[in-house]
Amino acid sequence: MTSPVLHRETQHLIELQLNGRPHSGLARPRLLLTDFLRQQLGATGTHVGCEHGVCGACTVQVDGVAQRACLTLAVQVAGCRVDTVEGLASHDGVLGDLQTAFKRHHALQCGFCTAGILMSCTDWLARLRSASRQPDEAEVREMLSGHLCRCTGYTPIVAAVMEVARHA
């Protein structure tokens, strides 16, 4: 009888800029970015829902582009800038414009979806701003279609995003 082969995966040192600050941690080749952020770097603001790229809860920005952390391997972000919801407020805790609008419009209830929505919206709004474009409501709803929210019915989220887009 042959003995089972024990396979040890190599751990890789991942260095990255997380919310503008240098961080590093060890990751096996198949470690997801969600688990790396939450378990190795303590960035638990990034939520894990479906782990299949469907719900959007895990959305972060990699080099400024919104992306599903549950479909990204930690080793893929070595040397990248990664931004998570923890980076939206200032260091002294003042909420960003979009966070403030969410609060004003009651655009969250349980908040499970919120971090991912904020990270998608900030990327999307920045791209519209650089193109000097104002979105209409249908465009906001289409953008939000990549995120599942079981609580709000989306209307207050749309209102918050529209408000920030108007004042951009």
Q: How does DSSP classify residue 20?
A: T
Q: Which residues, 6 or more positions from 7, have their beta carbon under 8 angstroms from its beta carbon?
A: none
- Which part of the chain contacts ligand FES (CB under 6 A), choosing from 2-10, 47-55, 82-90, 120-128? 47-55
- Which part of the chain contacts ligand FES (CB under 6 A), choosing from 19-27, 43-51, 82-90, 159-167? 43-51
Question: Using the rule CB under 6 A, is 32 a contact of ligand FES?
Answer: no
Map residues 108-137 to x or -, x wherever contact with ligand FES holds by CB under 6 A.
xxxxxxx-----------------------
d(CA 121, CA 160): 10
Question: Using the rule CB under 6 A, is 48 a contact of ligand FES?
Answer: yes
Cα 79 to chain centroid, rounded:
18
Q: Which residues, 6 or more positions from 83, have their beta carbon under 8 angstroms from its beta carbon?
A: 18, 19, 20, 60, 61, 64, 119
Q: Nearer Cβ to ligand FES, position 100 or 168?
A: 100
Q: Which of residues 55-84 bind ligand FES (CB under 6 A)?
A: 55-58, 68, 70
Q: Which residues, 6 or more positions from 40, have their beta carbon under 8 angstroms from its beta carbon?
A: 25, 26, 27, 74
Distances (CA, A) of 35 to 5, 82, 94: 26, 14, 27
Least Å from the CB of residue 163 to ligand FES: 18
Burial of 17 (0-12, 13-18, 19+ CB in 10 A): middle
Size of the site for ligand FES (CB under 6 A): 23
Of positions 13, 50, 65, 95, contacts ligand FES by CB under 6 A = 50
Q: Nearer Cβ to ligand FES, position 60 or 164?
A: 60
Cβ contact 102:114 at 8 Å = yes
Question: Using the rule CB under 6 A, is 103 a contact of ligand FES?
Answer: no
Question: Using the rule CB under 6 A, is 153 a contact of ligand FES?
Answer: no
Residue numbers of the site for ligand FES (CB under 6 A)? 48-51, 53-58, 68, 70, 108-114, 149-152
